[in-house]
Chains A and B, each alone.
Chain A
Amino acid sequence: MLAQQLLNGIALGFTYILIAVGLTMIYGVLKLLHFAHGVIYTVGAFSAMIGILYLNMNFIVAILFGMIIAGIAGVLVERLAYRPLRGTHPITTLISGVGIAIFVESLFQAIFTSDPRGFPATGMKVEPIHITSSISLTNSKLYIIIVGLVCLLLLYAFLKWTKMGVAIQAVSQDMRAASLMGVNVNQVVAVTFFIGSALAALAGAFVAYDFNSLFPTMGSIPGLKAFCVVVLGGLGSIPGTIIGGLILGIVESLSEGYLTGMVIDKDAIAFVILILILLLKPSGLFGKQVEKV
C-alpha cells in the first residue's frame, strides 16, 4: 500500500509542478506573485474541451490548442493587468492579479454555469495499468508524469541552449542590466508568460481528463497550492519547484492514506508547510538568499 500511495503522490505532485513552474519563472523575471495563474489552468482545461466539442479536434491537438489559448491568455493578462503597473508597489500588481482571477472565474460561471461538466469523450479511455498485482496507476496519470518529465526536459534545454532562454535567465538575474545589454525585456516577459501559462494549461487539461470533470473554479485551490510549492522550493528556482511539488504531492497522499481524524483539512497541509517554511527557511529549500525587497 505504501508503494501505491507514493505513486499516487508522485502523479499528484507532477500536476503541482506543471502549474508551479510557470509561477516560479514569472517570479524570476518580474519578481511578481502571479495570482491569476490558477484561472489560466482553468482556461486551458476549458479550451481543450471546446477544441474537442466544437472544433472536432482529437485529444492531442485539443491539448495543444488549450495550451496555446491559455498561453495567449497569460500574455494578455501580463499586457493588460501587470505591464501598466510595472514599477509600482508590488502589492498593486498582486491585487491586479487577484482582480483578474475573480473576473475570469465569474465570466466562466456566467458562460458555462458553475456546474461541473464531464470532459468530452475522445476515444481515450481512462484505464488502470497494473504494475504489480497490488500496485496500479491510471494511464491518464502515467501520461501526466511522462508529459511532465518531457516538458521539464524541453524547458531545461530551452533555457540553457536558446538565445531566448538565455535572455530569460539574464532578465531574472537583473532586469535593468539585461535591458542595458540590448535584451528586449517586454518580449522576454511575454515569452515567459506564454510558456508558464501553457504548462499550467497542460496540467488543467490533463486533470480535467483524468477526473472527467471541469468547472470554473477548478483552478483556485491548485493555483494556491502551486504558490506553496514555489515558496517551499524557493522563489524563482525551477529545481526547487520540482522537488517542492513532489514533496507536497507525496505528503498529501500519505497523510490522506494513513491518518484519520486529522485536526487539519488535507487541503490545508500545503499551507501549513508554507507557514513552516516561512518560519524556518524563508528563502525556501533551493532559494537564493532573500535580497533587498
Chain B
Amino acid sequence: MRKFTTAIILVLMASLMVVGCSSGQGGGGDTIKIGWFGPLTGPTSTDGIHSRDAAQLAIDQVNKQGGVKGKKLELVAEDDQGKPEEALKAVQKLINNDRVVALIDGAYSGPSKTVAPKVQKAKIPMVAAYVVHPDVTKGGDYVNRVIYTGPVQGKAMADYAVNDLKKKNIAVLYVDIDYGKSIYGAFKEEVQKLGSKIAIDRPFNMGDKNFSSLLTAVKAKNPDALYVVGYYNEASAIVKQAKETGLNVQFLGVDGFDSPKYLELGQQNTEGSTFTTSFYGSDPREVVQQFVKEWKAKHQSEPDMLSSQSYDAAKVIIEALKKTGPDSKALAKAINETKDLEGTSGKITFGPDHEVIKPVIFMTVHDGKFQFVKSKIYK
C-alpha cells in the first residue's frame, strides 16, 4: 500500500511538472496558438480524433507556406471526453494557460452548449465545426458555426422527398435527442406545407439495436418512404432490419449516415438510401481534392464529413488571422465577415445570425459507395 501511495505521489508530481512547463510557454513567442477541444477518449472518440487531425492538417498546410505574417501556427488540443464539465475545464485551460487566440469547437452538442457562453464572455473567437444544436451560436458575436443547423437539413430533405421523389406518405424514425428532434421538426413542417403526409413518427434511442418492433409498426402504415434521422450505428441497423421485415421503400437520411461505418454495418441493405450532408470526397474542386490527397497520405483513409467540417473551421480562423492578426475583437469581426471562402464543404459565408450559408449536398449509396446526387442552397 505504501509503495502504491508513493507511486501515485510520483505520478502526480510528474504531471504537475508537465503542466507547469506547458503553462510557462503561454502567450507571446513566435507562434500563434489556436485551441481545439473535443472527445479524444470515450465512445465518440473516433469523431474527435478525426476532427483534431483535420484541424491539424489545415494548420500544417499554412505553416508549410510560411505561416501567418511570419508567425507559425500551433494547434493545442484538449480532450473533453464527450462531457460538458470536462469541456469547460479544457476551454478554461486553453484560454488561461495556453492563451490561445481562437478556438475550434470539435465537440458535440452537450459540451458545446456549456462552453459557448463562457467563450463569449472571455471574448475569444470560436468556430464550431460539426455541432448542430441551435443554441450554440445564440450567445453573441464571438461564436460562429461552419455546419448548418438541423432544421436546414430537414427542410432540404422534405423538398427533395416531395418535389423530386414525389413521395406522398412518409414514415419517420428519429433519434430522441436534440439532433433528431430539431431536424424532424423542420422536415414535418415542410412536408405538410408541400402537401404530403407523415404516415407515422416514432423516436428511438442512441444505442438501440433491435428495431423489429418499431419497423413492424411502420410497415403496418404502408409508407412510400422511410426518413431516418439518426447516426450510422442505428441507421445501419434500421436499414438492415427493415429489409428483413420486408419493408422495401425508399430510405432517406441525414448527415449522421455519412460514415464508411454505415456501409460496413448496413452491408448491401444500404443500396439506394439517400441522405443530406455537407461534404463529398469526389467533389472535383481543387480545395477538396488537395484535402483528400493530403488526408489519405497522412492517415491512409478517406476523410469523412466531420473531418471536412473541422478542416473548414480551422480554415475560417486562419483566413481571418491572415486579414487581421491575433487581436480578438478584430479577429471575431473578420470571422463574421467571411464571405465565399472556398472550404471543403462548399463556399462558406456567414449570415448575420453567425450561421453558415452553403449548399446542402444530397448523396446516395450506389454499388456499395457514396455517390453525389445534387446540391442546393437552402436558407
Docked pose: A267 CA to B246 CA in angstroms: 25
Which residue on chain A has the smallest CB distance to residue B211?
A256
Which residue on chain A has the smallest CB distance to residue B209?
A211
A174 proximal to B (CB < 8 A): no
Provide the B196-219 mask, 1 if CB < 8 A to any CB of A, else 0. 000000100101011011101100
A: interface residue count bin: 35 or more
Are the C-beta atoms of A213 and B237 separated by less than 8 Å? yes
Are the C-beta atoms of B244 and A126 separated by less than 8 Å? yes
- The interface residues of chain A lying within 8 Å CB-to-CB of B264 are 117-118
A99 proximal to B (CB < 8 A): no
Which residue on chain B has the smallest CB distance to residue A139?
B244
Are the C-beta atoms of B214 and A114 separated by less than 8 Å? no
Are the C-beta atoms of B261 and A8 separated by less than 8 Å? no
Are the C-beta atoms of A256 and B209 separated by less than 8 Å? no
- The interface residues of chain B lying within 8 Å CB-to-CB of A127 are 244
- The segment out of A46-54, A187-195, A240-248, A257-265 that lies at the interface is A257-265
- The interface residues of chain B lying within 8 Å CB-to-CB of A1 are 216-217, 220
Docked pose: A116 CA to B207 CA in angstroms: 10
CB distance from B54 to the nearest CB of A (A): 18
B249 proximal to A (CB < 8 A): no
The listed residue (A5, A114, A221) touching B45 by CB distance below 8 A is: A114
- The interface residues of chain B lying within 8 Å CB-to-CB of A253 are 212-213
Provide the B227-246 mask, 1 if CB < 8 A to any CB of A, else 0. 00000010011001101111
Are the C-beta atoms of B213 and A212 separated by less than 8 Å? no
Docked pose: A8 CA to B205 CA in angstroms: 19
Q: A114-B45, A118-B264, A211-B237 are in contact. Are A8 and B213 (CB under 8 A)?
A: yes
- The interface residues of chain A lying within 8 Å CB-to-CB of B267 are 118, 212
Docked pose: A265 CA to B176 CA in angstroms: 11
B265 proximal to A (CB < 8 A): yes
- The interface residues of chain B lying within 8 Å CB-to-CB of A115 are 46, 261
- The interface residues of chain B lying within 8 Å CB-to-CB of A116 are 233, 261, 265
B42 proximal to A (CB < 8 A): yes
Docked pose: A113 CA to B243 CA in angstroms: 29
Which residue on chain B has the smallest CB distance to residue A211?
B209
A130 proximal to B (CB < 8 A): yes
CB distance from B166 to the nearest CB of A (A): 27
- The interface residues of chain A lying within 8 Å CB-to-CB of B240 are 126, 211-212
- The interface residues of chain A lying within 8 Å CB-to-CB of B233 are 116, 213
Are the C-beta atoms of A8 and B237 separated by less than 8 Å? no
CB distance from A253 to the nearest CB of B (A): 5
Among A226-264, those with CB < 8 Å from B are 252-254, 256-258, 260
Docked pose: A116 CA to B202 CA in angstroms: 24
Docked pose: A105 CA to B205 CA in angstroms: 21
Are the C-beta atoms of A114 and B42 separated by less than 8 Å? yes
- The interface residues of chain A lying within 8 Å CB-to-CB of B237 are 211-213
Docked pose: A190 CA to B46 CA in angstroms: 39
The listed residue (B214, B220, B246, B265) touching A213 by CB distance below 8 A is: B265
Docked pose: A213 CA to B236 CA in angstroms: 10
- The interface residues of chain B lying within 8 Å CB-to-CB of A283 are none
Docked pose: A252 CA to B245 CA in angstroms: 18
Are the C-beta atoms of B214 and A257 separated by less than 8 Å? yes
Complex A-B: 28 CB contacts under 8 Å? A1-B216, A8-B212, A12-B210, A114-B43, A116-B233, A116-B261, A117-B265, A118-B265, A128-B243, A128-B244, A128-B245, A130-B246, A136-B246, A138-B244, A207-B209, A211-B241, A212-B236, A212-B240, A212-B265, A213-B236, A213-B237, A217-B43, A253-B212, A253-B213, A257-B214, A257-B217, A258-B217, A265-B205
Residues of A within 8 A of B (CB): 1, 4-5, 8-9, 11-12, 113-118, 126-128, 130, 136, 138, 207, 211-213, 217, 221, 252-254, 256-258, 260, 265-267
Name 12 extra pairs, CB < 8 A, besides A118-B267, A128-B246, A212-B237: A8-B212, A113-B46, A118-B265, A128-B243, A211-B237, A211-B240, A212-B240, A213-B236, A254-B213, A256-B214, A257-B214, A267-B205
